[in-house]
Structure 1
């Protein structure tokens, strides 16, 4: 699962990296800790568009458009499991017709040790920008709703997210355009989810448990500072998988 992300880069750097402009520039605010259960916006590149758009985090399927608040009260759609997107009533239409890139430069995963949990910050080597594989629906002409696709954890994220053993699908740069091609069939989408995870090394380290606390301001640069790990097996430095 992936319920918190970061996007700390400037508009200019994001636009230059993804070769697209922001459709609603004033909506963009960098964030160091975006909680999926809060009100902050993701930024996505929807299929068959050439711009970056704001998006609510948590896909609202078309059948729930008349009562989105009721749907969100009953269902958590921050993440979509890769194994079931084509069999799910909620996701199957988007999986076939509405895939997107969700922009980020980091995310947080919980590590469990004994009876405690500690968040780990996960970023690409060099703190590079990247894109999650996502699904979306269009709520209006300039606003979307989206879910991040998750897949079974690899060797690194089995150590970090050691309870659920899942990880968000961070796409390798070579597959970014493939993911949002409109003519992919189900088999091709499933193959991308199987082989598309980035080959760029990840760097991960524990950060403050403040992100789990209510009433604490965590969308600040200091939240990215490393702290001591509670699990001695993970050591005191960054974990990197090549």
Structure 2
């Protein structure tokens, strides 16, 4: 699974890296070294641009950065609280899931991350690890998104929410946890984001490239990351395992 990750790069840096327009409109969250469910995050999407009347230009697409809430709220949901349980979508079943199948066909995205956290069971405790690229390059986690409107508030603003797709852990990552985010290599970004391709095909069913997975650093870190109130670059610093660890909490409250 992916229940926590780090995303500390500013929109300008991400826009350059993903060859995208910054459409966050100043609403992008700041550097977050402990991204938890229900937080605002930056996502990369590719859509047909619309004119002032809302008519889409089917002849071209535009890639952009958007702000979304982590935890997908299906359009049919009556309560927003369901989003806290919809942070991940299994790649193996997303195409048939009532919660995710529509988004998978029409609204795919990439969620940029410096890395993600996972916990390995060691005796009576769980040791946190940070999975990241040693070169500092951004990881692109495949995701899906949707728009939700509160049925009790007809005049309220719509909420844009997203979920991370996960797959079976590959290589050394399987020693930490049996699941991992579905990582997209740069050469697959365009195919994944294509708004006209309803079936992502092998991009959904194939595991992430083994060379990408094997290049990751599996870094033991402090148990401070277990508490979502803690935040800062110190959470990403290597810290050799200790024996007295608190259990992680996915979200505050």
TM range (shorter): 0.7 to 0.9
Q: Residue 86 of structure 1 contacts residue 95 of structure 1 at CA under 8 Å; is this kept in 2?
A: yes
Q: How many residues align?
A: 218
Counterparts of 2:224 and 2:27 in 1: how far apart (Å)? 26
Equivalence for 1:126: 135
Counterparts of 2:32 and 2:158 in 1: how far apart (Å)? 20
Q: Residue 122 of structure 1 contacts residue 204 of structure 1 at CA under 8 Å; is this kept in 2?
A: yes
Per the normalisation by structure 2, the TM-score is 0.79
CA 1:143/1:105 → structure 2, altered by over 3 Å: closer, same or farther?
farther
Counterparts of 2:98 and 2:187 in 1: how far apart (Å)? 30
What's the RMSD between the two structures over aligned residues? 2.1
Q: Structure 1: 5+ residue runs without aligned partners? A: 232-242
Task: Establish whether residue 197 from structure 1 lines up as the match of residue 213 from structure 2.
Answer: no
Larger Rg, first or second structure (1 or 2): 2
Q: Provide the secondary structure at the position in 2 that maps to 1:177.
A: helix
Equivalence for 2:7: 7
Counterparts of 1:107 and 1:81 in 2: how far apart (Å)? 17
Counterparts of 2:183 and 2:164 in 1: how far apart (Å)? 9
Q: Residue 113 of structure 1 contacts residue 230 of structure 1 at CA under 8 Å; is this kept in 2?
A: no
CA 1:184/1:11 → structure 2, altered by over 3 Å: closer, same or farther?
closer
Deviation at 1:229, TM superposition (A): 2.5
Deviation at 1:5, TM superposition (A): 1.0
Equivalence for 2:164: 148
In the alignment, which of 236, 240, 247 is matched to residue 224 of structure 1?
236
Q: Residue 60 of structure 1 contacts residue 137 of structure 1 at CA under 8 Å; is this kept in 2?
A: yes
Counterparts of 2:185 and 2:207 in 1: how far apart (Å)? 6
Counterparts of 1:22 and 1:142 in 2: how far apart (Å)? 20
Counterparts of 2:86 and 2:41 in 1: how far apart (Å)? 14
Equivalence for 1:46: 45
Counterparts of 1:10 and 1:210 in 2: how far apart (Å)? 24
Counterparts of 1:68 and 1:194 in 2: how far apart (Å)? 29
Deviation at 1:142, TM superposition (A): 8.3
User: Where do residues 59-78 of structure 1 align in structure 2 (5 Å cutoff)?
Assistant: 59-64=72-77, 66-69=78-81, 71-72=82-83, 76-78=85-87
Q: Structure 2: 5+ residue runs without aligned partners? A: 48-61, 150-156, 244-253
Greater share of helix = 1
